[in-house]
Chains A and B, each alone.
Chain A
Amino acid sequence: ELKVEQNPLFLSMQEGKNYTIYCNYSTTSDRLYWYRQDPGKSLESLFVLLSNGAVKQEGRLMASLDTKARLSTLHITAAVHDLSATYFCAVVTSGSRLTFGEGTQLTVNP
């Protein structure tokens, strides 16, 4: 059974600081997604990582994928309050279903 693990699960950081969220998964997959979710809202797609070594950046967020290590990272640069949300990674498996990590609840404090 595929397992997707994120850490940390809770992250409180100050504005202007950098941090990284990690996503480990237990089986081979060539496609990984990062989503953002605001409280009570839907999932907003941030990044689709398609191959080993893929790196994508949007604003203060950068995501990377290492399929050999089965590891993806979401790096936050110079955090701002608007980035406060829960971030999920999800791995595509058979039947195109998504298996999600537990989510990382990020709080950025002024």
Chain B
Amino acid sequence: DSGVTQTPKHLITATGQRVTLRCSPRSGDLSVYWYQQSLDQGLQFLIQYYNGEERAKGNILERFSAQQFPDLHSELNLSSLELGDSALYFCASSVGTLLYNEQFFGPGTRLTVL
């Protein structure tokens, strides 16, 4: 158990809908990262937050957004869902933003868009 929690574990929804994925980082970690794992794209970085502020953006679609709250939990919002958004979404956390800060991964949320 990495100490990173994600809810829900599974989410099934329809095209066009909007969902919110939640992540709580390890105690003491200020950085949160979101990754998407799909058959087509593999594992790819979406976005990073540090202490409430966006720090880096990867291949995140405009339909997706994220935020980190004062209590350091983070939410990833996915809207106007398409079939291709079906994937496993991982959250990871680290102490800081430095290259040597190891990231610890949560169990993931499996999103199925029908």
Contact = CB atoms under 8 A, between A and B. Distances in A.
A42 B79 CA distance: 24
A63 to B, nearest CB: 15
A34 interface: no
B42 A40 contact: no
Contacts of B102: 33, 45, 48
B48 A42 contact: no
A102 to B, nearest CB: 5
Interface in A57-110: 88, 90, 92, 94-100, 102-103
A100 B90 contact: no
B44 A40 contact: no
Which size bracket describes the interface of A in this complex? 20 to 34
B90 A96 contact: no
B104 to A, nearest CB: 8
B106 A42 contact: yes
Given A40-B110, A42-B90, A95-B56, A31 B45 contact: no
Interface stretch (B21-29, B63-71, B92-100): B92-100
Interface in A18-72: 30-31, 33, 40-43, 45, 48, 50
Given A42-B90, A103-B42, A103-B43, A98 B103 contact: yes
A95 B107 CA distance: 23
Contacts of A33: 102
A43 B97 contact: no
A71 B94 CA distance: 25
B74 to A, nearest CB: 15
Per CB-CB distance, the 9 closest pairs between chain A and chain B, nearest first, are A95-B56, A100-B43, A97-B45, A43-B105, A42-B107, A42-B105, A92-B99, A96-B97, A96-B99
6 contacts: A45-B104, A88-B43, A96-B97, A97-B56, A98-B103, A100-B44
